[in-house]
Structure 1
Amino acid sequence: MVDVSSITYGPRRATLLTDDGVRIEAVYEPSTASVTDTAVVVAHGFTGSVDRPAVRRASRVLAERAAVVTFSFRGHGRSGGRSTVGDREVLDLAAAVRWARALGHARVATVGFSMGGSVVLRHAALYGAEREGQVECGEREGAHTDAVAAVSAPARWYYRGTPSMRRVHWLITRRAGRLVGRYGLGTRIHHQDWDPVPLSPVEAVPLIAPTPVLIVHGDRDPYFPVDHPRMLAAAGPAELWLERGMGHAENAAGDELLRRLGDWLTRA
């Protein structure tokens, strides 16, 4: 279900309703390219939101190649609900993809950063294949992606091998951490553990074919070392870009990389 709050030409804001009833804020930005039938849906990282500067910059650069939909995951920004850190967020992404198609785009690609990277991979697997016994994903029609790129994504859950990820786990699992998330980072985190544990990114990748998959990762990522993207690519088929000198997620993705991503997403 889509509640469009503005139908004027140019960037427009909307409130999207997910299959489990969560209201998600979203922004549509038309492409500055002369002709394109592609929309790119951008899934931000944990503690991000549609209005964070790095997300807005990514949207502006990608709009040189395609129309762009950005949105805030549940528990982030002005979206409702609480973050499940990559589990139910597939429903948020599905709502955004459906909106892009409702706006007239025949082809929709997805790109996700960090947590958003894990979400786009799981979404592509869950909505691109009919598998019995999957996590409940609601209505599939119009929610599939035509190409998917995951940037700075984890390969497996519960990774604590870096100081950065140990801090993230404290934020998620401790009451004091969740208070810091809410009042310091503007992120409302669900207190319940996953039950069941969702399909991991590395388990999702083999289920995505024949949809094209791109894995992008920096060799200076302080959260996930390069064994994560290599595991994801090896689970493929998937293309792998290891970016020299790059750190983590949308904050570290330069304009040149974003333009290459836009080219890949519109041509894959």
Structure 2
Amino acid sequence: MSSVSEGRIPDSPVRSVTRGPVRAALRADDGTWIEAVYDPCTPDDGAGGPAGDPGTVIVVAHGFTGSADRPAVRRAVRVFSRYAAVVTFSFRGHGRSGGLSTVGDREVLDLAAAVDWARSLGHRRVVTAGFSMGGSVVLRHGALYPARADAVVSVSAPARWYYRGTAPMRRLHWMVTRPAGRLVGRYGFRTRVHHRAWDPVPLSPVGAAARIAPAPLLIVHGDRDPYFPLDHPRMLAAAAGDAAELWLERGMGHAENAADETLLTRIAGWAVRA
């Protein structure tokens, strides 16, 4: 992993980071360039939560068709940065990042680059927090890169691949697998999707969840999620066993767009305590 700064990137101590966000281009292990943003911890004791922990950094992995600069992601940054520093990035094929989306497969390399960058900034603890597709990626990262993340938060993630049991997932599969759908993704959602099918099929989220321990795992899912019903988070929690804590959120929809400030505050508090 290497980085090219659009601002000042410190070599070691976190305290040397300036107050504003720092942007960088990170190179994943397969050579794909990934845009990333670092926001320092800005504790707000008046927020009603614990004092911020500048030694912890939360690395946020967005959902499919998202990016580091989407409003829902920036809302998460604003809340999380009261408790810890935050690194956000755009998965390949999204935002200003290079490459093409593989919808959760090689994206694990993008997250690994972001986690390594967060470590290089001097943080003693790294917590990964992913939403939807990003939720599946943080699970696979935790399984494939042991000890890189000190704790993992997976929000609105699927438990298994190729799920088509809801109308939104059937539409997503059309967008990913059909030429016309990929055009809609590129021009309608600014998401560039690779035309090749997975070969081999990556480790499933439920298979990954079983390998997270001993790192603490938080699984969050809404009971009104239109994409993945509640059997998905329950399968993930069962696979993870004692390592997992499961929050089933009443009235919540899907992923970062449905995560309000109250929920994000609770997640941030868990992240600094885990």
Tell me the CA shift for residue 208 of structure 1: 1.0
Matching residue within 108, 128, 133 for 1:115 = 133
Secondary structure of the corresponding residue to residue 236 of structure 1: helix
Of 29, 39, 47, the match for 1:19? 29
Corresponding residue number in structure 2 for 1:217: 221
Q: 2:100 aligns with which of 42, 58, 82?
A: 82
Determine the C-alpha separation between the residues in 2 that align with 1:195 and 1:94: 21
Matched, 1:239 2:240: no
Whether the 8 Å CA contact 2:40–2:54 is kept in 1: the answer is no
| Offset, 1:110 | 0.4
Question: CA offset at residue 68 of structure 1?
Answer: 0.3
Residues 1-268 of structure 1 mapped to structure 2, 5 A cutoff: 1-7=2-8, 9=18, 10-33=20-43, 35-128=53-146, 144-237=148-241, 238-268=244-274
Aligned AA for 1:188?
R
2:29 and 2:72 map into 1 onto residues whose CA distance is 28
Structure 2 CA distance, aligned partners of 1:101 and 1:204?
Answer: 23
User: SS state of the match for residue 194, structure 1?
Assistant: coil
Give a deviation string over 1:214-268, Cα, whole Å, max 9, x none.
1000000000000000000000131100000000000000001001100111111
TM-score (norm: length of structure 1): 0.93
CA-CA distance at 1:35 after TM superposition: 4.4
| Identity between Structure 1 and Structure 2 (%) | 72
Write the distance in 1 (CA, Å) between the matches of 2:3 and 2:27.
Answer: 6
Spell out, residue by residue over 1:7-61, the C-alpha distance to the aligned partner (whole angstroms, 9 max, x if none). Answer: 1612110000000000000000001125420000000000000111000111111
Distance verdict in 2 for CA 1:166–1:41, change over 3 Å:
same
User: Could you tell me how far 1:187 is from its partner in structure 2?
Assistant: 0.1
Say if 1:119 and 1:35 are closer, same or farther in 2 by CA, change over 3 A: closer
Structure 2 residue matching 1:70: 3-state secondary structure: strand
> After the TM superposition, which segments of 4 or more aligned residues of structure 1 sit over 6 Å from their partners?
none
Query: Shift of the alpha carbon at 1:206?
Result: 1.1
User: Equivalents in 1 of 2:107, 2:170: separation in Å?
Assistant: 22
Instruction: List runs of 5+ in structure 1 lacking aligned partners.
Output: 130-143
Distance 1:266 1:175 in 2: 43
Question: Could you tell which deviates more after superposition, 14-23 or 26-35?
Answer: 26-35
Deviations 1:145-196 (A, max 9, x none): 0000000000000000000100000000000000000011000000000000
Structure 2 letter corresponding to 1:258: L
Aligned twin of 2:48: none
Tell me, in whole angstroms, the C-alpha distance in 2 between the residues paired with 1:30 and 1:36.
Answer: 8
In structure 1, C-alpha distance between the alignment counterparts of 2:222 and 2:191, rounded to whole Å: 25
CA 60–173 in structure 1, closer or farther in 2 if over 3 Å, else same? same
* Per-residue deviation, residues 74-125 of structure 1 (Å, max 9, x unmatched): 0000000000000000000000001111111111100000000000000000
Unaligned 5+ runs, structure 2: 9-16, 44-51
TM-score by length of 2: 0.91
In 2: Cα distance, 1:243 partner to 1:4 partner: 39
Tell whether the 8 Å contact from 2:53 to 2:272 is kept in structure 1 after alignment: no
Please state whether the residue corresponding to 1:68 is helix, strand or coil. Answer: strand
